[in-house]
Amino acid sequence: MISQTTASSENPFAELDNAGITPFHWKIMFVSGMGFFTDAARREGNQPACQPDHQHGDYACHLAVAAFPGYLVAAIAMDRLGRKPIQAFGFLLMGAAFAAIALLPGGSQAVIPFVLLYGISYFFAEFGPNTTTFVSPAEIFPARIRTTSHGITATSGKIGAFVGTFAFSLLMEHYGLQGAMGTFSVVAVLGLLVTWLFLPEPKGESLEEISRDDLLRIEQTEQRRAATAGATPSG
């Protein structure tokens, strides 16, 4: 027990390795980061046109009209539609909104179409990856390392937000709004593909069934037995 504690303190990722964290789980963390990446683009990309004079008031208006209803619909539909379809559909509609902004004649000067597209992207960010990337990490990881894994996932999300914001500034400087929104439309499509290929669907399952804790314990027990049998000298 002392040696295990010492090893864990020396290597903070030892518990993750011992608990069976696989490349699949790291993909889930990557999906979470991508959700914040595209969300950061949406926030920063639409800020100049939608908040010209009264920033806080306009932001609160968009929050009330688009974001908050998106959260409500996500909460109502989460167990009916499933996490994976909601996240995939959210990425799809965000990518479509970004692409429409990139192709919009006049760009941000076409105020009404721009604000409508902004609201659509906002709604489907909340009724999409901005909600599901909080829910999924709390469900799919093994119980003994769930909080640690959720923390790593949250960290990757914040890194994704930072990278998205920084990249948007560079893209705006060199390619303008159309180029920046076109780029992030592609990123949203990549988020859709990663979600559809790698995210499990935990709808209708208990936390134990989702995280496969029982299978993990059986596998670890078999590994210990095999190691013990191999270390036992033959007659």
> What domains can be seen in the chain, in order of their start residue?
39-199 (1.20.1250.20)
What is the residue-wise DSSP string for 91-108? Answer: HHHHHHHHHHHHH-TTGG
Question: Taking the mean position of all CA atoms in its chain, how far away is CA 131?
Answer: 8
Q: In the chain, what percentage of residues exceed pLDDT 90? A: 24
Question: Taking the mean position of all CA atoms in its chain, how far away is CA 66?
Answer: 19
Q: What pLDDT, on the 0 to 100 scale, is given for residue 181?
A: 92
- Measured N-to-C along each axis, helices 111-126 and 55-62 cross at an angle, to the nearest 10 degrees, of 60
Tell me the one-letter amino acid at 156: S
The helix or strand, by DSSP H or E, that contains position 73, with its residue range, turns out to be helix 68-81
Query: Which residues fall within 8 angstroms of residue 190, CB to CB, at 6 or more apart?
Result: 34
What integer is the mean pLDDT of 199-219?
A: 71
What integer is the mean pLDDT of 73-93?
A: 92
Q: How confident is the model at residue 145 (pLDDT cuts 50, 70, 90)?
A: confident
Q: What pLDDT, on the 0 to 100 scale, is given for residue 1?
A: 44
**Do residues 29 and 137 lie in contact, with contact meaning Cβ atoms separated by under 8 Å?**
yes
Nearest Cα neighbor of 104 from 115, 88, 90, 119 is: 115
Residue 219 confidence (pLDDT) above 90 = no
Place of tokens 């789980």: 25
Residue 84 confidence (pLDDT) above 90 = yes
Residue 211 confidence (pLDDT) above 80 = no
Q: What pLDDT, on the 0 to 100 scale, is given for residue 212?
A: 66
Q: What pLDDT, on the 0 to 100 scale, is given for residue 107?
A: 67
Q: What pLDDT, on the 0 to 100 scale, is given for residue 66?
A: 78
**Do residues 31 and 191 lie in contact, with contact meaning Cβ atoms separated by under 8 Å?**
yes
What integer is the mean pLDDT of 19-24?
A: 54
Q: What pLDDT, on the 0 to 100 scale, is given for residue 68?
A: 83
More confident residue, 145 or 41: 145
What's the pTM? 0.66
Give the pLDDT confidence of 158-204 residue by residue, as tens digits. Answer: 898 889 889 998 999 999 888 999 999 999 999 999 999 988 888 87
Place of tokens 């069934």: 209
Q: What pLDDT, on the 0 to 100 scale, is given for residue 54?
A: 45
**Which of 7-11, 54-58, 200-204 has the highest mean predicted lDDT (pLDDT)?**
200-204
d(CA 212, CA 217): 9
Neighbour count for residue 231 (Cβ, 10 Å): 7
**Do residues 35 and 136 lie in contact, with contact meaning Cβ atoms separated by under 8 Å?**
no
What integer is the mean pLDDT of 219-226?
A: 73
What integer is the mean pLDDT of 65-86?
A: 88
More confident residue, 182 or 107: 182
HEC states along 180-230? HHHHHHHHHHHHHHHHHHHCCCCCCCCHHHHHCHHHHHHHHHHHHHHHHHH
